[in-house]
Amino acid sequence: MGAKSTTRFSIFLLLGASLLGAPLSGQHVTRLDSYDGVEVRILQSNNAGDVQHIIDPATNEVVASIEGCPRPHNLFAHPDGLYIYCTNEAESTLDVFDTRTLQLVEQLPLTGRPNKGAVNKVRRKIYVGIIAAPYVDVFDLDTHEKLKTIEVATGIHNVYVSPDGEWVIAGAMQTSEESVQIIDPDVDEVVDAITLYDEDGEPHTMRPAAFIAGDDGSVERLLANGSAENAVWVIDWETREIETILRPPPLPAWMQNADGNQGAPMHGLEVLPNRTAFWASSRVDSRIYGWTLPDLEFIGGIEVGPTANWMTSTPDSRYMYVAVSGSDHTLAIDLETHEIVAKMTTGARPARIDVAILPPDRVPEAEGR
Protein backbone atom coordinates (compact mmCIF):
# COMPACT_ATOMS: atom_id res chain seq x y z
CA MET A 1 0.00 0.00 0.00
CA GLY A 2 1.38 3.41 -0.93
CA ALA A 3 1.77 6.26 1.50
CA LYS A 4 -1.29 8.40 2.03
CA SER A 5 -1.02 11.98 0.83
CA THR A 6 -1.13 14.78 3.38
CA THR A 7 -4.51 16.49 3.14
CA ARG A 8 -4.75 18.91 6.01
CA PHE A 9 -3.15 20.40 9.07
CA SER A 10 -5.05 20.99 12.26
CA ILE A 11 -5.78 24.57 13.24
CA PHE A 12 -4.71 23.57 16.73
CA LEU A 13 -1.29 22.56 15.50
CA LEU A 14 -0.89 25.89 13.76
CA LEU A 15 -1.82 27.69 16.96
CA GLY A 16 0.65 25.57 18.91
CA ALA A 17 3.39 26.27 16.37
CA SER A 18 2.69 29.98 16.64
CA LEU A 19 2.93 29.76 20.41
CA LEU A 20 6.31 28.11 20.20
CA GLY A 21 7.63 30.24 17.36
CA ALA A 22 8.33 27.24 15.12
CA PRO A 23 6.89 25.76 11.92
CA LEU A 24 5.57 22.24 11.66
CA SER A 25 8.41 20.00 12.73
CA GLY A 26 9.80 17.51 10.26
CA GLN A 27 10.76 15.19 13.13
CA HIS A 28 9.62 13.97 16.53
CA VAL A 29 11.52 16.75 18.32
CA THR A 30 10.50 20.14 16.97
CA ARG A 31 13.40 22.02 15.37
CA LEU A 32 14.17 25.30 17.13
CA ASP A 33 17.13 27.45 16.14
CA SER A 34 16.46 29.76 19.11
CA TYR A 35 14.91 29.09 22.50
CA ASP A 36 13.64 32.65 22.88
CA GLY A 37 10.17 32.61 24.40
CA VAL A 38 10.17 28.93 25.35
CA GLU A 39 11.57 26.64 28.02
CA VAL A 40 13.03 23.27 27.02
CA ARG A 41 13.02 20.37 29.45
CA ILE A 42 14.22 16.77 29.23
CA LEU A 43 11.75 14.23 30.65
CA GLN A 44 13.48 11.19 32.12
CA SER A 45 11.36 8.23 33.20
CA ASN A 46 12.91 5.73 35.61
CA ASN A 47 11.56 2.30 34.82
CA ALA A 48 12.32 0.72 38.20
CA GLY A 49 11.13 3.61 40.36
CA ASP A 50 8.18 5.84 41.15
CA VAL A 51 9.99 9.21 40.93
CA GLN A 52 10.59 10.69 37.47
CA HIS A 53 13.07 13.47 36.73
CA ILE A 54 13.01 16.70 34.74
CA ILE A 55 16.30 18.11 33.46
CA ASP A 56 17.02 21.67 32.36
CA PRO A 57 19.41 21.38 29.37
CA ALA A 58 20.60 24.95 29.93
CA THR A 59 22.19 23.94 33.26
CA ASN A 60 22.26 20.14 32.92
CA GLU A 61 20.72 19.78 36.35
CA VAL A 62 17.71 17.83 37.59
CA VAL A 63 15.43 20.76 38.42
CA ALA A 64 12.19 18.99 39.31
CA SER A 65 10.66 15.57 39.84
CA ILE A 66 7.31 13.89 39.41
CA GLU A 67 6.32 11.65 42.29
CA GLY A 68 4.02 8.79 41.51
CA CYS A 69 3.38 6.77 38.35
CA PRO A 70 5.16 3.61 39.55
CA ARG A 71 6.90 1.51 36.92
CA PRO A 72 6.45 4.06 34.15
CA HIS A 73 7.02 3.04 30.59
CA ASN A 74 7.45 6.56 29.24
CA LEU A 75 6.81 10.25 29.80
CA PHE A 76 5.63 12.59 27.04
CA ALA A 77 4.32 16.13 26.94
CA HIS A 78 1.12 17.74 25.74
CA PRO A 79 2.01 19.74 22.59
CA ASP A 80 0.65 22.97 24.14
CA GLY A 81 2.67 22.42 27.33
CA LEU A 82 -0.34 21.77 29.57
CA TYR A 83 0.40 18.27 30.81
CA ILE A 84 3.02 15.58 31.19
CA TYR A 85 1.67 12.10 30.54
CA CYS A 86 3.04 8.94 32.13
CA THR A 87 2.16 5.39 31.08
CA ASN A 88 1.73 3.66 34.44
CA GLU A 89 2.53 -0.05 34.15
CA ALA A 90 1.76 -0.81 37.80
CA GLU A 91 -1.81 0.49 37.72
CA SER A 92 -2.63 0.16 34.00
CA THR A 93 -3.44 3.85 33.65
CA LEU A 94 -2.30 6.87 31.71
CA ASP A 95 -1.41 9.36 34.43
CA VAL A 96 -1.86 13.07 33.69
CA PHE A 97 0.30 15.62 35.55
CA ASP A 98 -0.02 19.40 35.41
CA THR A 99 3.22 20.84 34.00
CA ARG A 100 3.23 23.82 36.36
CA THR A 101 2.47 22.06 39.65
CA LEU A 102 3.58 18.53 38.68
CA GLN A 103 0.56 17.28 40.60
CA LEU A 104 -1.53 14.37 39.39
CA VAL A 105 -4.64 15.67 37.61
CA GLU A 106 -6.28 12.39 36.63
CA GLN A 107 -5.65 8.76 35.81
CA LEU A 108 -7.12 7.48 32.58
CA PRO A 109 -7.97 3.74 32.80
CA LEU A 110 -6.39 1.61 30.09
CA THR A 111 -7.48 -1.71 28.58
CA GLY A 112 -4.48 -3.42 30.17
CA ARG A 113 -0.87 -2.92 31.22
CA PRO A 114 0.62 -0.29 28.91
CA ASN A 115 3.91 0.25 27.22
CA LYS A 116 4.78 3.36 25.21
CA GLY A 117 2.32 6.15 24.46
CA ALA A 118 2.52 9.04 21.98
CA VAL A 119 0.65 12.18 20.94
CA ASN A 120 -0.78 12.89 17.50
CA LYS A 121 -0.61 16.70 17.41
CA VAL A 122 -2.49 17.03 14.13
CA ARG A 123 -5.38 14.67 14.95
CA ARG A 124 -5.43 15.81 18.61
CA LYS A 125 -5.27 12.27 19.91
CA ILE A 126 -3.19 10.18 22.29
CA TYR A 127 -2.25 6.59 21.42
CA VAL A 128 -1.13 4.07 24.07
CA GLY A 129 0.19 0.61 23.24
CA ILE A 130 -1.15 -2.16 25.47
CA ILE A 131 1.44 -4.86 26.09
CA ALA A 132 -0.87 -7.13 28.11
CA ALA A 133 -3.41 -7.54 25.30
CA PRO A 134 -3.61 -6.95 21.52
CA TYR A 135 -4.83 -3.36 21.62
CA VAL A 136 -3.94 0.30 21.19
CA ASP A 137 -6.06 2.70 23.27
CA VAL A 138 -6.99 6.08 21.76
CA PHE A 139 -7.88 9.22 23.74
CA ASP A 140 -8.99 12.71 22.77
CA LEU A 141 -6.06 15.05 23.48
CA ASP A 142 -8.29 17.94 24.55
CA THR A 143 -10.95 16.19 26.64
CA HIS A 144 -9.06 12.99 27.62
CA GLU A 145 -12.15 11.02 26.65
CA LYS A 146 -11.42 7.50 25.50
CA LEU A 147 -12.34 7.32 21.82
CA LYS A 148 -11.54 3.76 20.81
CA THR A 149 -9.61 0.59 21.48
CA ILE A 150 -7.94 -0.57 18.27
CA GLU A 151 -7.50 -4.30 17.75
CA VAL A 152 -3.99 -5.23 16.60
CA ALA A 153 -2.09 -8.47 15.97
CA THR A 154 -0.54 -8.91 19.43
CA GLY A 155 0.35 -6.98 22.54
CA ILE A 156 2.08 -3.72 21.63
CA HIS A 157 5.45 -2.51 22.88
CA ASN A 158 5.98 0.89 21.25
CA VAL A 159 3.68 3.36 19.52
CA TYR A 160 4.91 6.19 17.28
CA VAL A 161 3.15 8.97 15.35
CA SER A 162 4.51 10.35 12.08
CA PRO A 163 5.47 14.05 12.22
CA ASP A 164 2.61 15.01 9.88
CA GLY A 165 0.09 13.07 11.98
CA GLU A 166 -0.95 10.93 9.01
CA TRP A 167 0.25 7.60 10.39
CA VAL A 168 0.53 5.71 13.68
CA ILE A 169 2.73 2.64 13.96
CA ALA A 170 2.63 0.03 16.70
CA GLY A 171 5.31 -2.57 17.30
CA ALA A 172 3.92 -6.08 17.75
CA MET A 173 5.64 -7.66 20.75
CA GLN A 174 4.69 -11.31 21.08
CA THR A 175 5.27 -12.45 17.51
CA SER A 176 7.84 -11.76 14.84
CA GLU A 177 5.35 -11.69 11.96
CA GLU A 178 3.84 -8.35 10.95
CA SER A 179 6.37 -6.57 13.15
CA VAL A 180 5.01 -3.08 12.47
CA GLN A 181 1.24 -2.52 12.60
CA ILE A 182 0.31 0.57 10.55
CA ILE A 183 -2.75 2.49 11.77
CA ASP A 184 -4.70 5.12 9.83
CA PRO A 185 -5.66 7.80 12.41
CA ASP A 186 -8.63 8.94 10.28
CA VAL A 187 -10.45 5.70 11.10
CA ASP A 188 -8.17 4.33 13.86
CA GLU A 189 -7.82 0.93 12.25
CA VAL A 190 -4.86 -1.19 11.14
CA VAL A 191 -4.52 -0.76 7.38
CA ASP A 192 -1.14 -2.36 6.64
CA ALA A 193 1.84 -4.10 8.22
CA ILE A 194 5.59 -4.42 7.71
CA THR A 195 7.74 -7.36 8.77
CA LEU A 196 11.36 -6.82 9.76
CA TYR A 197 13.07 -9.64 7.91
CA ASP A 198 16.82 -10.04 8.29
CA GLU A 199 19.20 -11.06 5.50
CA ASP A 200 18.40 -14.74 6.11
CA GLY A 201 14.66 -14.17 5.85
CA GLU A 202 14.07 -14.50 9.59
CA PRO A 203 11.45 -12.10 11.05
CA HIS A 204 12.07 -9.86 14.07
CA THR A 205 9.76 -7.85 16.29
CA MET A 206 10.00 -4.06 16.30
CA ARG A 207 11.46 -2.27 19.30
CA PRO A 208 12.25 1.49 19.09
CA ALA A 209 11.57 3.25 15.80
CA ALA A 210 11.82 6.70 14.22
CA PHE A 211 10.54 8.43 11.10
CA ILE A 212 12.68 10.30 8.58
CA ALA A 213 10.41 13.00 7.19
CA GLY A 214 10.38 15.94 4.80
CA ASP A 215 9.93 19.60 5.69
CA ASP A 216 6.17 19.14 5.83
CA GLY A 217 6.46 16.12 8.10
CA SER A 218 5.51 13.58 5.43
CA VAL A 219 7.26 10.26 5.88
CA GLU A 220 10.11 9.25 3.61
CA ARG A 221 11.69 6.40 5.56
CA LEU A 222 11.04 4.39 8.68
CA LEU A 223 13.92 3.37 10.96
CA ALA A 224 13.45 0.46 13.36
CA ASN A 225 15.39 -1.59 15.86
CA GLY A 226 14.51 -5.27 15.77
CA SER A 227 14.65 -7.97 18.39
CA ALA A 228 17.86 -9.99 18.78
CA GLU A 229 19.86 -7.76 16.39
CA ASN A 230 22.36 -4.97 17.04
CA ALA A 231 21.06 -3.22 13.95
CA VAL A 232 18.82 -0.59 12.36
CA TRP A 233 16.33 -1.47 9.63
CA VAL A 234 15.87 1.26 7.00
CA ILE A 235 12.48 1.00 5.24
CA ASP A 236 11.20 2.97 2.26
CA TRP A 237 7.82 4.24 3.40
CA GLU A 238 6.24 4.50 -0.05
CA THR A 239 6.97 0.91 -1.02
CA ARG A 240 7.14 -0.56 2.52
CA GLU A 241 10.29 -2.37 1.37
CA ILE A 242 13.48 -2.81 3.43
CA GLU A 243 16.23 -0.71 1.84
CA THR A 244 19.08 -1.92 4.02
CA ILE A 245 20.01 -3.08 7.49
CA LEU A 246 22.73 -0.99 9.15
CA ARG A 247 25.09 -2.48 11.69
CA PRO A 248 27.96 -0.86 13.59
CA PRO A 249 31.40 -2.48 13.43
CA PRO A 250 31.30 -5.49 15.76
CA LEU A 251 33.03 -5.25 19.13
CA PRO A 252 34.92 -8.18 20.66
CA ALA A 253 32.83 -10.15 23.14
CA TRP A 254 34.85 -8.97 26.13
CA MET A 255 33.85 -5.36 25.39
CA GLN A 256 30.12 -6.11 25.26
CA ASN A 257 27.59 -5.86 28.06
CA ALA A 258 25.63 -9.04 28.84
CA ASP A 259 22.90 -7.02 30.58
CA GLY A 260 22.35 -5.21 27.33
CA ASN A 261 21.08 -8.22 25.38
CA GLN A 262 17.58 -8.84 26.76
CA GLY A 263 16.28 -9.70 23.31
CA ALA A 264 16.89 -6.15 22.05
CA PRO A 265 20.61 -5.35 21.82
CA MET A 266 19.98 -2.02 20.05
CA HIS A 267 17.28 -0.09 21.86
CA GLY A 268 16.99 3.57 20.91
CA LEU A 269 16.67 5.73 17.78
CA GLU A 270 16.60 9.48 17.26
CA VAL A 271 16.61 11.51 14.05
CA LEU A 272 18.03 14.98 14.66
CA PRO A 273 15.53 17.82 14.22
CA ASN A 274 17.70 19.30 11.44
CA ARG A 275 17.71 15.89 9.71
CA THR A 276 21.47 15.80 9.15
CA ALA A 277 21.92 12.49 10.97
CA PHE A 278 20.32 9.85 13.13
CA TRP A 279 21.69 8.03 16.16
CA ALA A 280 21.02 4.59 17.60
CA SER A 281 21.85 3.37 21.09
CA SER A 282 23.33 -0.08 21.62
CA ARG A 283 22.68 -1.62 25.01
CA VAL A 284 25.00 -4.51 24.29
CA ASP A 285 27.85 -2.23 23.13
CA SER A 286 27.24 0.53 25.73
CA ARG A 287 27.57 3.04 22.90
CA ILE A 288 25.53 5.26 20.66
CA TYR A 289 26.19 5.13 16.92
CA GLY A 290 25.49 7.73 14.25
CA TRP A 291 24.77 7.72 10.52
CA THR A 292 24.46 10.74 8.23
CA LEU A 293 21.31 11.66 6.34
CA PRO A 294 20.29 11.18 3.66
CA ASP A 295 23.24 9.04 2.52
CA LEU A 296 23.52 6.75 5.59
CA GLU A 297 27.28 7.10 6.00
CA PHE A 298 28.58 5.74 9.30
CA ILE A 299 29.70 8.54 11.67
CA GLY A 300 31.12 6.44 14.47
CA GLY A 301 30.38 5.52 18.05
CA ILE A 302 30.50 7.23 21.44
CA GLU A 303 30.96 5.12 24.56
CA VAL A 304 28.44 6.12 27.21
CA GLY A 305 28.45 3.38 29.85
CA PRO A 306 26.62 0.16 30.69
CA THR A 307 23.31 -0.49 28.96
CA ALA A 308 22.90 2.60 26.80
CA ASN A 309 19.16 2.96 26.42
CA TRP A 310 16.73 5.45 24.95
CA MET A 311 17.84 8.95 23.97
CA THR A 312 16.54 12.27 22.74
CA SER A 313 18.11 15.31 21.11
CA THR A 314 17.66 18.96 21.97
CA PRO A 315 15.58 21.03 19.51
CA ASP A 316 18.73 22.74 18.18
CA SER A 317 20.24 19.33 17.27
CA ARG A 318 23.37 20.15 19.29
CA TYR A 319 23.08 17.72 22.19
CA MET A 320 21.91 14.16 22.70
CA TYR A 321 20.62 13.03 26.09
CA VAL A 322 21.11 9.31 26.73
CA ALA A 323 19.56 7.23 29.50
CA VAL A 324 22.22 4.86 30.84
CA SER A 325 20.17 2.19 32.57
CA GLY A 326 23.12 0.26 33.94
CA SER A 327 24.42 3.13 36.08
CA ASP A 328 21.27 5.19 36.82
CA HIS A 329 22.57 8.24 34.98
CA THR A 330 21.48 10.46 32.11
CA LEU A 331 24.27 11.84 29.95
CA ALA A 332 24.43 14.95 27.78
CA ILE A 333 26.60 14.48 24.69
CA ASP A 334 27.86 17.29 22.47
CA LEU A 335 27.22 16.02 18.93
CA GLU A 336 29.81 18.36 17.44
CA THR A 337 32.71 17.18 19.62
CA HIS A 338 31.30 13.72 20.48
CA GLU A 339 32.19 14.38 24.12
CA ILE A 340 30.14 13.75 27.24
CA VAL A 341 29.56 17.21 28.72
CA ALA A 342 27.34 16.34 31.69
CA LYS A 343 26.39 13.34 33.81
CA MET A 344 23.22 13.61 35.87
CA THR A 345 22.18 11.11 38.54
CA THR A 346 18.59 10.13 37.86
CA GLY A 347 16.36 7.36 39.22
CA ALA A 348 16.37 3.59 39.21
CA ARG A 349 17.01 2.23 35.74
CA PRO A 350 16.35 5.30 33.58
CA ALA A 351 14.97 4.31 30.20
CA ARG A 352 12.50 6.22 28.00
CA ILE A 353 13.35 9.90 27.59
CA ASP A 354 11.68 12.77 25.76
CA VAL A 355 11.67 16.56 25.27
CA ALA A 356 9.06 19.05 26.45
CA ILE A 357 8.92 22.53 24.90
CA LEU A 358 7.00 24.72 27.34
CA PRO A 359 5.64 28.25 27.35
CA PRO A 360 7.43 30.21 30.11
CA ASP A 361 4.28 30.27 32.25
CA ARG A 362 4.19 26.45 32.33
CA VAL A 363 7.64 25.95 33.89
CA PRO A 364 7.24 23.70 36.95
CA GLU A 365 6.86 25.61 40.20
CA ALA A 366 9.17 23.02 41.78
CA GLU A 367 12.05 24.71 39.99
CA GLY A 368 11.67 27.73 42.26
CA ARG A 369 11.48 30.30 39.49
CATH of the domain at 262: 2.130.10.10
Quickly list DSSP for 275-309. Answer: SSEEEEEETTTTEEEEEETTT--EEEEEE--SSEE
- With a cut of 50, list the residues of the chain below it in pLDDT: 1-24
- Taken in order 69, 75, 76, 82, the sign of the CA dihedral is positive
For residue 347, the one-letter residue type is G
Residue 342 belongs to some domain of the structure: yes
Cβ contact 141:78 at 8 Å:
yes
Domain that holds residue 267: 11-363
Residue 368 belongs to some domain of the structure: no
How far apart CA 365 and CA 369 sit, in angstroms, is 7
Residue 2 belongs to some domain of the structure: no
Q: How many domains does the chain have?
A: 1
Residue 159 belongs to some domain of the structure: yes
**What pLDDT is stored for residue 44 in this prediction?**
96
Whole-Å CA distances, 230 to 5, 71, 86, 266: 33, 26, 28, 5
| Total-model pTM | 0.92
Cβ contact 291:278 at 8 Å:
yes
The CA R_g of the chain, rounded to the nearest whole Å, is 19
Cβ contact 299:306 at 8 Å:
no
Burial of residue 339, with CB atoms counted within 10 A of its CB: 0-12 exposed, 13-18 middle, 19 or more buried = exposed
**What pLDDT is stored for residue 262 in this prediction?**
65
Angle among Cα 38, 309, 366 to the nearest 5 degrees reads: 35
Residue 62 belongs to some domain of the structure: yes
Q: For residue range 129-168, what is the model confidence (pLDDT) as tens digits?
A: 999 999 999 999 999 999 999 999 999 999 999 999 999 9
Residue 71 belongs to some domain of the structure: yes
**What pLDDT is stored for residue 9 in this prediction?**
32
Residue 112 belongs to some domain of the structure: yes
Residue 5 belongs to some domain of the structure: no
